Structure 1
Amino acid sequence: MFPTETLADYAASFSGTELPADVMHHAKRAVIDWYASVFPGLACTVVGKLESALAEDLDRGRARLIGGRPATTRTAALINGTAAHAAEVDDSFRDAMYHPGAATIAAALAAAQQVGADGRTFLRGIVLGYEISTRIGVVLGRPHYRYWHNTGTVGTFGATAAAGHILGLDRSAFAHALATAATFTAGLQQAFRLDSMSKPLHAGRAAEAGVLSALLAGTGVTGSLDVLDGEAGLGRAMGEGPSWVGIGATLGSDFHIKRLTFKNHIGCGHTFAAIDGALALRQRHDLAPDDIAAVRVATYKPALDIACYGVPATANEARFSFPFVVAAALVHGSVRLTAYDDDKLWDPRTRALLERITVEVEPEIDAAFPGQRSSRVEITTRDGRRYEHLQANRKGDPEDPLTDAELHDKFIELSAPVIGMDAARALLARLCTLDDAPSLDW
């Protein structure tokens, strides 16, 4: 049996099973975090430009952009998925090296609105999207991540699986939807090695491609069922020919959606262990920026490849700059959305300190990636004191998760400036009871 068929078998059996209460709870947490990510993303330039470019697909259709504007199903998935990734606040599944929520939930929401699905079906589609896509990402592994942006590639499968469930695909159609999705996958890491607007489009395009794959399969369009493991398939073309044996072994027993990372800072998640470590030393030793002579950060190589900007010239570069975010943490005590406002982006204290920060690879930390995202932070003061802290995990990782209260605070912090405090609280209450919602027609 091909991997596409193994995954489709699970999808077919999934439709008739009752999910554990804690799995549904974690699905609601993922949706709350997704909405928290979308609201600041709406203000990002690329989202406005995307709406302008796709104007002919707006103000019609059964789906909705966040905010209520009607849109066609594919366009709603594309724009909402882009917004969810644009501000770099969205969730991640560490072992698959990818942000599953942005595309998966955008596709699920668009599909649910198209067919009038209820909240429970919406949540179940999200769970299936996470479970199938994260396993594909784990199989592809680190070789795939060397060149490809998993949120764009692996995310297409999450979107397809979520939409496929909500649209009611049978076993055969589901397998063909995944096969078609495989040939739609895209998203190059080089797209964000220079300052550009491309990165969030990867998530949006994955959401759109997933919806399209499911819709096509529903009409009888077929794909090559060996497209994952074939001689010229995705595994070889976009990786090092990994083994797909056992891809479905733990489906239904080990729910990956229960092991998500929710961001506690704003920016590239590869920098977060270093931010946590810097904040720990700052608090523990009462360090002021002027006290610091040098900062050394040791971490894993993919983190340096992606958070690659030494002296950022824009807010977007700053989100992917190890020296900047560590300096900002040490100067201001946090790295939230305002860290990238002009006054903090060009704060002389931050700019002076980032020049005294070096980042390098530590072999032991690198060997533990992707299962562990650690950083070692060493600070030397001007009077010769030396402090060191190993941050084994990031705040928000499964080992140190955000509580429900912390996640709700994050939602309010990011949504209230956009929709107002009363509307934010009302939406949060609605999201907390999604499994009772008769529809997603909001």
Structure 2
Amino acid sequence: MTRNPLTTLAEAAADWISRPLTPEVEHHARRAVLDWFAALLPGCVDGPALLLAPALASERGSGRAVSYVDGGLGAPRHASMLNGTASHTAEFDDIFRDGGYHPGSPTISAALAVAQDVGATQEQFLRAVIGGFEVGCRIAMALQPSHYRNWHITATVGTFGAAVSTAMLRGGKAETIAHAIAIASSFAGGHQENLQGEGVTKPMHAGHAADAGVLAGLAAAAGVTGSPNSLHAPHGYAAATSDTTGDWEKGLEGLGEWTPITKMTFKNHGCCGHIFPTLDGLRVLQAEHGFTRDDIASIHVRGYGPTKSICDRMQVNSPRDARFSLQYCAAALLTLGGVRLAAFTPEALADPGIRAFMPRVTIAEDPEIAALYPSRRQARLRVELTDGRVFDHYQQTRKGDPDDPLTDAELIEKFDELASTVLDADARAALKALVLDGGALPGVLPFDRSLPAPR
């Protein structure tokens, strides 16, 4: 390694403050923001953000940042915490596949809150989002795959993305952004047990990353400094949280030639992304052979490590459990025809047909598929029918990944479905136009500011 990765990434982010913004990159950034709102809004009416909003009311502070959970204005850290938590609740937030990372929830939550507070233009906001994605996604690539063994990478690396966006919007140049990254490296946490185990802490991982990133960015803008070797030193962040001091050749590959926001995965299913290849493969087989759930004797899935370690889950007691259970999601797909919001209602969770089908699904790790992770997310399926027929399928991609992306129409359809939990048709149309066509920053949304009772 000949370049200091921290200063190199800071310079790359700073370049986004003024470099020409091509129509392609701008369009990808607008898609990311629209998808963030799609993921955010269901979390404003159900989930831990509703518990946090009244608990943190005394910390709202003064400022112009919007908490979409309750519609109130306040300090950027307060808004980014609540919005980051809400946007990571329904499991519909974006994915940077090569880093196994959800950049939108922490980065956009922070960037929008700071942009609203400082009165930034929408272009300045979009540039800060692009820069935050650039740094966060590339750090994720350098840390993976070993980082994910014990750490929830959205909770950790999301702090860096949020810090970069904040520093950019607070007028920071490369030196200030570098200090924001360095400071963020002392705040970035969130372990796998609170991702895989019981409880509802996981959405707060994204909220905390946004909040801590804003703190790091504000501190750097105020003159606080950090070590320029914070990422790659022997006692730096990569060494502390992965097997090496970081694969920075991989992380910095193509810097200046492509930017991560153009390579995002937008979720087509409302569950853990490690389940997607199975769901997509089942849809292919159903379309080809016309079988129904009741025709199936068994399904055997072979995937990569987290397919087995995270998503082989027969104990499903809550929507959160269900979203990380391949068995449940496969049964829901075959029962309901899709794995969107309707798959995680109390009625669906209690459906005896879904529950009875789950034991028919088994999961194993496939060494060849595991070797391609995280840059490829694949699954091999064997479906045995009750009449003796057997179908094998190799699902080599996921709908929504960069090589099989959601079209603009499909992304808008997803937005309309998820946003309808909060907004009526006119409000949805207004927000879509604001995000996709330009104008002022999205502000207070036209919905009831009173907090519904948590479910």
Offset, 1:416: 1.8
* Cα distance between partner residues in 2 of 1:391 and 1:301: 16
Q: Does 1:144 align with 2:143?
A: no
Offset, 1:245: 4.6
**1:161 matched to which residue of 2?**
164
Equivalent of 1:204, from 195, 204, 207? 207
Q: Secondary structure of the equivalent of 2:393?
A: strand
Question: What per-residue deviation string (whole Å, max 9, x for no partner) do you get for residues 153-192 of structure 1?
Answer: 1111111111111111122211111100011100101112
Q: How many residues align?
A: 440
Gaps of 5+ in 1: none
Contact 1:88 1:268 in 2 (8 A): yes
**1:42 matched to which residue of 2?**
44
Identity %: 42
Offset, 1:441: 4.0
* Cα distance between partner residues in 2 of 1:292 and 1:247: 43
Contact 2:13 2:134 in 1 (8 A): no
Equivalent of 1:258, from 250, 258, 262? 262
* 1:172-191 equivalences in 2 (<5 Å): 172-191=175-194
Contact 2:152 2:195 in 1 (8 A): no
Q: Does 1:237 align with 2:229?
A: no
* Cα distance between partner residues in 2 of 1:220 and 1:255: 28
Equivalent of 1:65, from 62, 67, 83? 67
**2:35 matched to which residue of 1?**
33
Contact 1:117 1:440 in 2 (8 A): no
**1:55 matched to which residue of 2?**
57
Question: What per-residue deviation string (whole Å, max 9, x for no partner) do you get for residues 272-320 of structure 1?
Answer: 1101111222232221222111111111112222224223122211111
**1:121 matched to which residue of 2?**
124
* Cα distance between partner residues in 1 of 2:33 and 2:440: 16
TM-score (norm 2): 0.94
The 3 A distance-change label for structure 1 pair 339 and 128 is: same
Contact 2:13 2:132 in 1 (8 A): no
* Cα distance between partner residues in 2 of 1:313 and 1:439: 40
Q: Does 1:277 align with 2:281?
A: yes
Q: Does 1:323 align with 2:327?
A: yes
Does 133-142 or 2-11 show the bigger shift?
A: 2-11
Superposed CA RMSD:
1.5
Equivalent of 1:99, from 87, 99, 102? 102
Question: What per-residue deviation string (whole Å, max 9, x for no partner) do you get for residues 117-139 of structure 1?
Answer: 01000001100111111110000
The 3 A distance-change label for structure 1 pair 26 and 391 is: same
Contact 2:17 2:124 in 1 (8 A): no
Q: Secondary structure of the equivalent of 1:387?
A: strand
Question: What per-residue deviation string (whole Å, max 9, x for no partner) do you get for residues 239-282 of structure 1?
Answer: 11224357445222111111110000111111011011112222
* 1:137 alignment partner AA: A
**2:10 matched to which residue of 1?**
8
Contact 1:193 1:308 in 2 (8 A): no
Equivalent of 2:93, from 90, 95, 100? 90
* 2:20 alignment partner AA: E
**2:388 matched to which residue of 1?**
384
* 1:383 alignment partner AA: D
The 3 A distance-change label for structure 1 pair 172 and 390 is: same
Does 360-369 or 9-18 show the bigger shift?
A: 9-18
Offset, 1:193: 2.1
Equivalent of 1:18, from 14, 17, 20? 20
Q: Secondary structure of the equivalent of 2:88?
A: helix
Question: What per-residue deviation string (whole Å, max 9, x for no partner) do you get for residues 182-228 of structure 1?
Answer: 11100101112222111111101111111111100111111111111
Q: Does 1:412 align with 2:420?
A: no
Contact 1:289 1:349 in 2 (8 A): no
Equivalent of 1:314, from 313, 318, 322? 318
* 2:302 alignment partner AA: A
TM-score (norm 1): 0.96
The 3 A distance-change label for structure 1 pair 35 and 439 is: closer
* Cα distance between partner residues in 2 of 1:248 and 1:382: 51
**2:337 matched to which residue of 1?**
333
The 3 A distance-change label for structure 1 pair 246 and 147 is: closer
* Cα distance between partner residues in 1 of 2:168 and 2:86: 23
**1:109 matched to which residue of 2?**
112
* Cα distance between partner residues in 1 of 2:8 and 2:222: 21
